[in-house]
């Protein structure tokens, strides 16, 4: 076991935790006034805790930064009925990618007119559900969707649409989450003219009302510059559309992808700088092009849900293999596939007891039958970590449970909301009976 000589300070370590995090006793942490160890005992492990106040505060931060824009929460980061309810109450719209996400939101009471439907390959059910429920916008991602959507709407139908364009900008924290370049599956390229051709076809469909352009550059972007480049390129396209068709589009959707810090010291996107510079760039570009300034739409997902979530696991075994120490927990890639997919790193913390042991470098691994099932490589934990201990991982609210799988049939963990000292179950643990009930053949 390698001893760590310069551990992260306690204050720095908590910088990526929710603002409500406290340490009522050495070794114990509470979020939203709820001790994490008590929540683990009550709800079992693994368990995901979601700080309601943190979610709401982050919604308000976006509304304050962009007072003249529409803020649309990207549900793919994490969606449940409570999350839809919180974001609706905070005045946000909702970005969904399937009929499942759409129906859950609308049946929870989310206003359909504040919902945007995305997707590079929308199924007939997706489109039919969106039309039936009356979503506010459908983002067209491929030429084939134009005729399909017009036919589904019917001769007397009407649907507002946007076009997702590819501005040719590479940005994002990993090649698998960069979506603004011409070599990936999303959107229609400006460079090769496919975007312009699709827009011309939409204008020939009386059932479809084109309200604006949409782009999404990627995820985990920590620099403002790519967004400014995107503004210039999209306004340039708007100017050409005005010249060719007399078209003045009232909306411009810059997507999301705003980077957050997963570990102390990591960079995050400066939201205040983004808002100020994007507004200035948009106003300047539109003045130069002789166009009115369109209404901005911003689509944060991870930046709202991610820092509000905490994952709590129980240590099952500690194994010394050569110079390596593997700390295995009762979850893993079935509830958080991101380390296996993207190689992301976290900062787990021992909770529930105070340790005075030296710090050591260990690898926190999951329980699944994959060598790549690693939750935290080079983690800084007390050298006396042992089976039965609890480990908490912050910044666990986005793209964990939303991407969870049924691998090894261990069942997906529950989601628990914490606020003002109380904890309530939002999504129950997936049981063996749930798994058995879906298996109907023999």
Measure the CA–CA gap between 146 and 200, rounded to whole angstroms.
Answer: 11
Q: Where are the beta strands (DSSP E) in 277-382?
A: 295-298, 309-321, 324-329, 349-351, 359-365, 374-382
Q: Who contacts 293 (Cβ-Cβ below 8 Å, separation ≥6)?
A: 282, 283, 286
Question: What value, to the nearest 5°, has the Cα angle with vertex 271 and ends 166 and 277?
Answer: 65
**Tell me, what DSSP letter sits at residue 315?**
E
Measure the CA–CA gap between 118 and 171, rounded to whole angstroms.
Answer: 20
Are the CB atoms for 37 and 44 separated by under 8 Å? Answer: no
Question: What value, to the nearest 5°, has the Cα angle with vertex 337 and ends 336 and 340?
Answer: 130
Measure the CA–CA gap between 312 and 10, rounded to whole angstroms.
Answer: 19
| Secondary structure of 264-299 in HEC code, one letter for each residue | CCCCCCCHHHHHHHHHHHHHHHHHHHCCCCCEEEEC
CA neighbor of 278 nearest in space, from 244, 228, 221: 228
Helices 225-245 + 271-289 axis angle, to 10? 30
Q: Is 369 a catalytic residue?
A: yes
Determine how β-strand 415-419 pairs with β-strand 422-427. Answer: antiparallel
E strand or H helix at 251:
strand 251-253
Name the active-site residue from 59, 80, 215, 369: 369
What's the full length of the chain, in residues? 442
Which tokens is 198 given? Answer: 């699709």
Which tokens is 118 given? Answer: 């995305």
CA neighbor of 263 nearest in space, from 388, 347, 332: 347
Cα distances from 286 to residues 128, 227, 229, 236, 256, in angstroms, run 36, 15, 14, 9, 21
What are the residues facing 140 on neighbouring strands?
163
Please identify every residue annotated as catalytic. Answer: 369
């Amino acid at each position: 076991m390698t001893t760590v000589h310069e551990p992260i300070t306690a204050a720095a370590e908590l910088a990526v935790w929710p603002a409500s995090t406290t340490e009522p006793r050495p070794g114990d942490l509470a979020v939203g006034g709820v001790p994490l160890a008590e929540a683990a005992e009550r709800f079992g492990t693994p368990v995901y805790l979601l700080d309601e106040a943190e979610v709401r505060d982050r919604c308000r931060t976006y509304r304050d930064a962009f007072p003249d824009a529409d803020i649309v929460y990207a549900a793919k980061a994490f969606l449940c009925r409570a999350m839809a309810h919180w974001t609706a109450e905070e005045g946000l719209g909702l970005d969904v990618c399937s009929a499942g996400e759409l129906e859950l939101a609308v049946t929870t009471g989310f206003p359909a007119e504040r919902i945007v439907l995305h997707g590079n390959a929308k199924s007939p059910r997706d489109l039919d559900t969106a039309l039936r429920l009356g979503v506010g916008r459908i983002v067209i991602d491929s030429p084939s969707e134009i005729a399909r959507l017009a036919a589904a709407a019917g001769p007397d139908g009407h649907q507002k649409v946007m076009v997702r364009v590819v501005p040719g900008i590479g940005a994002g924290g990993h090649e698998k989450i960069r979506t603004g370049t011409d070599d990936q599956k999303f959107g229609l390229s400006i460079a090769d003219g496919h975007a312009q051709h699709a827009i011309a076809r939409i204008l020939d469909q009386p059932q479809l009302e084109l309200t604006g352009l949409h782009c999404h550059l990627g995820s985990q972007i920590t620099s403002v510059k790519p967004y400014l480049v995107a503004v210039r390129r999209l306004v340039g396209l708007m100017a050409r559309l005005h010249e060719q068709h007399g078209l003045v589009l009232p909306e411009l959707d810059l997507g999301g992808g705003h980077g957050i810090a997963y570990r102390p010291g990591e960079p995050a996107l400066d939201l205040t700088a983004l808002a100020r510079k994007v507004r200035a760039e948009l106003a300047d570009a539109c003045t130069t092009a002789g166009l009115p300034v369109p209404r901005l739409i911003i689509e944060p997902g991870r930046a709202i849900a991610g820092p509000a979530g905490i994952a709590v696991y129980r240590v099952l075994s500690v194994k010394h293999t050569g110079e390596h120490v593997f700390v295995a927990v009762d979850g893993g890639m079935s509830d958080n596939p991101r380390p296996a997919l993207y190689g992301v790193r976290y900062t787990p913390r021992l909770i529930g007891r105070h340790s005075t042991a030296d710090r050591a470098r260990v690898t926190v691994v999951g329980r699944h039958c994959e060598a790549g099932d690693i939750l935290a490589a080079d983690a800084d934990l007390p050298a006396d970590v042992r089976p039965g201990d609890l480990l908490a991982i912050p910044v666990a609210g986005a793209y964990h449970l939303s991407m969870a799988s049924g691998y090894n049939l261990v069942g997906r963990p529950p989601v628990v909301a914490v606020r003002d000292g109380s904890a309530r179950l939002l999504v129950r643990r997936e049981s063996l009976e749930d798994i058995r009930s879906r298996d109907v053949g023999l």
